[in-house]
Chain A
Amino acid sequence: MATIFWVTCPRCGGKFYCHTQDLRHTDWKLLCPFCQHRFHQDESPQIVE
């Protein structure tokens, strides 16, 4: 699979992962699949890559 990075939602703490090439270090607002919060990855309390 493509390289991924795990993100933690700043609102609900849910963890999910994103496609690195598509989304890492971009201005896209990520979508938390658990609480639907849209946030910039800089707001995430933890990113694992």
Chain B
Amino acid sequence: MASLREFLNRLEEEGNPEDLCHVTEPVDPADFEVTAVLQHLENAGRYPAVWFDRPKNLWGQPSAFSLVSNLFASRERCALALGLERKDKNLPLSLEYARREERMIPPTVIAPAEAPVKQVIRRGEEADLRIFPIVRHHEMDPAPYVDMTPFMKDPDSGSYNGAFLRMMYKGPRRLGLHMSPRHNWQIARKYEERGMPTPVVVVVGHHPAFYLGCLNVSPFGVDDYHKVGAIMGESVRLVPSETWGEAIMVPADAEIVIEGQILPGERDVEGPFGEFPGTYGPQRVRWVVEVTAITHRRDAIYQDVFVGHRGNWIMGAIPKEGSIYNRIKGVIPTVKGVHLPLSGVGRFHCYISIDKKVDGESKQAAFIAMGECDFIKHVIVVDGDVDPFNEEQVWWSVATRVQADQDVDVIKNVKGNTLDPSQTDDIMTAKMIIDATKPVRRPFAARIRVPDRVMQRIDLAQVGLTGPRSKQTAPASAE
């Protein structure tokens, strides 16, 4: 069965230090020491998954749990997670995600005795969050945060929804929960309107394909356990929760599951928190989760995401790229690629390449992208000769094929994202389309190129290509 440890074992066997590193000395996650390691690596241009062997728990003692972070900080690792090859890391990865997202694989219910996540069960006062190496990420975060995926169940349709949400440690059995007005927010609102607590199941540690599956962009009401199974390529194994039994099911192959309930009508201050744009979201008045039970594997691995950094951006980009590509292809069959680059935190910028046949197709493609994903602010449409995964090429295209008075459109007062620090309105944002394609209806300069026939004839391995000559070996001068 797919699990976090199975994926990590694969990386261990491959032995590539750019894919997986261990930190063998003790670190204190609650005192920023985990994120300091990750920041140092990032400063050096390195993005391995990092497995901390000896993190401290919230008592400052050696934790019984090791800790993994940065797992998604490489598109190649995400390709491996979906069973693809490293070379498929760009558009093929996004398209494979989109292909799987069209499907549903129903979950499988197993007996608790078979479920690894039930190896240790802690209920009531024993369900103490301080046993975990919970990470405090950035300077203005007021506390350690659990930043993996709470699952909630829609009381009307019975469908589950999972999403990455920030959860602030507020006490041994208490978490502050931030939600944007999306699917889990809708579910919690329904329970609260009925005066009922909202059951929450936080999945901390699972196969990376499980979490990529949680980021699917399906409509509200589509069951995420089915969608996650489709993305993973295998049925998600479920087992009854400790708190609600079969009424709320939890993933059997998770490392850790935290069960709790959002208390109706109860709020508390939460944040600030270093968020995905690389800026802090402000302190707010948010929901409170009371922890009811914790279950985990005997040697469970605690998982974390370095929010606001590369892994957070890549995992946000992949699910959207494929679905946007498919929607555009329905209208513009010559679309060649879609990319949400790191420079746009995997959400705010969208590069689309099309083999444009008639003028106007660029803007049509941009509208589709913005309609498909409300995160997207800036769309750059380029010709098919430009690789949307090559940012230098994209901006060369803007430099040479754009006249701002003719090719740039700004659309005001569109729903944006509450965490975009540039927004001057609470909800609404401005969007921009840059059409960096060549016009079809008038002559346009051709791009320079070395003739193909000569490029094919010349092989670098055959031309005597060497490094620089030292003075001693340089040819004698004519003097």
Asked if A33 and B142 sit within 8 Å, CB to CB, the answer is yes
Query: Nearest residue in B to A3 (C-beta to C-beta)?
Result: B426
- Residues of B within 8 Å of A28, CB to CB, are 269, 285
Tell yes or no: A2 within 8 A of B by CB: yes
**Contact, CB under 8 Å: A33 / B426:** no
B282 engages A30 (CB within 8 Å): no
Which one, B269, B420, B423, contacts A31 given CB within 8 A? B269
A1-B418, A16-B140, A17-B272 are contacts. A31–B283 as well, Cβ < 8 Å?
Answer: yes
Cβ contact within 8 Å between B282 and A18: yes
User: Which positions 280-304 of chain B face chain A at CB distance < 8 Å?
Assistant: 280-285
Q: A16-B283, A17-B283, A36-B142 are in contact. Are A23 and B269 (CB under 8 A)?
A: yes
B141 is an interface residue with CB less than 8 A from chain A: yes
The interface residues of chain A lying within 8 Å CB-to-CB of B143 are: 33
**Contact call A30/B142, Cβ cutoff below 8 A:** no
CB-defined contacts of A26 to chain B, threshold 8 Å: 285
CB distance from A10 to the nearest CB of B (A): 15
CB-based nearest A residue for B429: A1
- Our pick among A2, A23, A32, A36 for the contact of B285 (Cβ within 8 Å) is A23
Contact B142 A1 (CB under 8 A): no
User: A-facing mask of B252-281, CB < 8 A → 1, else 0?
Assistant: 000000000000000001011000000111
**In the complex, which range does the number of interface residues on chain B fall in?**
20 to 34
Quote the shortest CB–CB distance from B285 to chain A (angstroms).
4
Which parts of A9-40 form the interface with B (CB within 8 Å)? Answer: 16-19, 21-23, 26, 28-34, 36
On whether the beta carbons of A2 and B418 are closer than 8 Å, the reply is yes
**A2-B426, A17-B282 given as contacts; is B142 within 8 A of A31 (CB)?**
yes
Q: Give Cα distance in the complex from A23 to B283, angstroms.
A: 8
Q: Which of B271, B282, B423 has the most CB of A within 10 A?
A: B282
Q: Say yes or no for A4: interface residue by CB 8 A criterion.
A: yes
Q: Do the beta carbons of B421 and A19 come within 8 Å of each other?
A: no
On chain A, the residues within 8 Å of B179 by CB distance are none
Please give the distance in Å from A12's CB to the nearest CB on chain B. Answer: 12
CB distance from A25 to the nearest CB of B (A): 13
Contacts of B280 in A (CB 8 A): 16-17
Residue contact B142 to A29, C-beta cutoff 8 Å: no
Q: How far is the CA of A17 from the CA of B141 in the complex (A)?
A: 11
Q: Which residues of A contact B426 (CB under 8 A)?
A: 2-3, 21
Interface string of B418-452 (1 = CB under 8 A from A): 11111100100000000000000000000000000
Given B284, B420, B421, B422, which contacts A23 in the complex, CB threshold below 8 Å?
B284
What residues on B are CB-neighbors of A29 within 8 Å? 269
- Minimum distance in angstroms from B185 CB to a CB of chain A: 15
**Distance of A30 Cα from B420 Cα, bound (Å):** 23
CB distance from A2 to the nearest CB of B (A): 5
CA distance A19 to B140 in the complex (A): 15
Contact flag A19-B420 (CB < 8 Å), given A2-B426, A32-B142, A36-B142 = no
Tell me whether A22 and B284 are in contact in the complex, defined as CB-CB below 8 angstroms, given that A1-B419, A1-B423 are known contacts.
yes
Chain A: minimal CB distance from B358 (Å): 39
Q: What residues of chain A lie closer than 8 Å to B419, measured between beta carbons?
A: 1
Check B269–A1 contact: CB distance below 8 A: no
**Cross-chain contact A30 with B283 (CB below 8 angstroms):** yes
Docked-complex contact B272 and A16, CB < 8 angstroms = yes
Give bound CA distance, A32 to B281, whole Å. Answer: 14
Contact A30 B281 (CB under 8 A): no
Interface contact A33-B269, CB-CB below 8 Å? no
Please give the distance in Å from A41's CB to the nearest CB on chain B: 11
* A1, A16, A28, most chain B CB atoms within 10 A: A1
A31–B284 Cα gap in the complex (Å)? 10
Report A's interface with B, CB cutoff 8 A. Answer: 1-4, 16-19, 21-23, 26, 28-34, 36
